[in-house]
Amino acid sequence: MKQKRRLSMKAVRFFKFSSKTIATATALAAAAALTIQASSKNSDRFDEIRAGFDGILRSSRAIYTVTLNTVDYKYSLRGIHSDSDEYRRKLAEVHHRSAIRILKLCEGNKGFYVKAGQFVAAVRQVPKEYSSTLSSLQDKAAPCQLNAIKKVLASNLGHDWSDLFSSFDEKPIAAASIAQVHHAVLKDQSEVAVKVQYPGLKYLMKIDIITMDLLSKAISWIFPEYRFDWMISEFERAISLELDFIQEAKNSERTAENLKSNSMVRIPRVFWDLTTSHVLTMEYCPGIKVDDLDLLKKNKINPVKVAKALVEVFAEMIFVHGFLHGDPHPGNILVSPEGHDDFSLILLDHGVYKELDQEFRLEYCQLWKALILQDSKQIELLGENFGVGKYSKYFPIIFTGRTVDSKAVLGTGMSAEEKNKLKLELKSLKMDDISSFMESLPSDFLTILRTDGLLRSIVSKLGASQRIRLFAYAKYAVYGLSRKLEPLTDPALDSVASQLKATFAYLRLRLFVELMELLYMVEGFHRSLVSRIKLVLAEALDMLVRISSFSFIK
């Protein structure tokens, strides 16, 4: 009885804390809304007030959902030892229930909450129950009312905006969490895609970010091992960039210049005279969604070749140019049935980009060199440079699916012994370890992890082996290192002897990667040849049976 009373008192105190949190956060959200309203003199008053009240409602929903989840975690796991199988089973159940609540919250609040859900789903370091549940948000953006879209067009392109087009489809061809796209035809008959940002987003963003930050701090206070500050700051950075369509247009042009020698990729041209910070007009480039297997096969496009072209484009961005598209989900990548090798990739939505620090780019190339050569000492050293210390031993698992002391060839799976050893080691990892690891990583690394997670998902949907991704990364890491023959880290490279040594090291590594890829191709050819021989033998046997049956009947 006393035990029950103690638990009851704990619950009362916790709910008191939760209600105080709700009241405080709602008040802060209201204050933020009024501050935003007062500081914006040139915007529509009605939109500001509506955005403010909408923000408070959205904040209340978020606080309610997170409170329910917190209570679920706190009391579903009480009294169960954290190292037991029962605890892990219960934790997975709570993860699943909480993820469903978060999904409903994102669907109800829309806008930045959908974007935040998509962001979390792409981070492979969150529990799989969250990533798998929230991944459905990629295709759940409802279009905005047409009158609001016309208002944005009028304020950005002039009240006679409709005179600029010979036709403008009122039904959007695509709708996302912050904007929607309409097909239109200009007076000179050029087909364009007009991307229009939803009104009032900058006000809602500030309120939503304040709410998310408060909730993150509240969760960290209740569960010290769960820390999400790194995720909130990364999300805020990404979403702030995405709201500026002028910057998005510049990003697309820079990427087109970087990839101009790659015949497999196409970037829509920007129409600058019809582009502002809230309206982006681009060349209309129709295509098939990259993970639509049925349409790809119907158009006789090999999905595995698409996967290879895709990862090579992003590997070039990361390792060679250091200028990375940060949101490669399937809706932002189309496949055109026209182009080199019977298809080409169309990259859309260039709002979220990350310019990698030059030193980081080279160290990341070095990391992949160490992963290829299974150089555990170099991996540990680079881990110190990246600020993750002892957690560097998990780099091979994260990127290549091997343990740090594995002797398996790149692209092959772990042995049964390695799997058992890893399973035991991962059981000892706490959420605090994962939080510490993610907090320690540089911002550049977080962007790469998210991008890599999205690419892995697409490669899997296309039915391609992850070897394709591994070999592309390895090859372009080698290309990226070839550019380091300028003086970057070692002054001794100024000497001819050092230059020759560095060049030889690069050529040796490149030869190693090319041989691995050749072996993979030979292995694939061998499998194909064996399958073909089996098919021919089966047909021959079938024919013999038919001939025998015919002879017997005669």
- Return the active site residues: 327
Can you say whether the dihedral through the CA atoms of 373, 374, 380, 382 is positive or negative?
positive
Distance CA 134, CA 106 (A): 9
User: 329 near 341, Cβ under 8 Å?
Assistant: no
Output the CA angle 86-87-90, nearest 5 degrees.
Answer: 85
Q: How far apart, in whole angstroms, are the C-alpha atoms of residue 245 and residue 202?
A: 13
Q: How far apart are CA 307 and CA 301, in angstroms?
A: 11
Distance CA 144, CA 154 (A): 16
Angle (CA) 461-98-22 rounded to 5° is 135
CA–CA dist 527, 517 (Å, integer)? 15
- 480: which strand partners? none
Alpha-carbon distance 235 to 351, whole Å? 13
What's the angle, vertex CA 310, arms to CA 304 and CA 313, rounded to 5? 145
Name residue, tokens 């209201």.
30
Q: Are 56 and 37 in contact (CB under 8 A)?
A: no
H helices, E strands: number in the chain: 19, 11
Residue 65: how many CB atoms within 10 A of its CB? 21
Closest CA to 449 of 231, 117, 123: 123
| CA distance linking residue 366 with residue 471, whole number of Å | 15
User: CB of 252 within 8 A of CB of 323?
Assistant: no
Burial tier of 99 (Cβ tally within 10 Å: 0-12, 13-18, 19+): buried
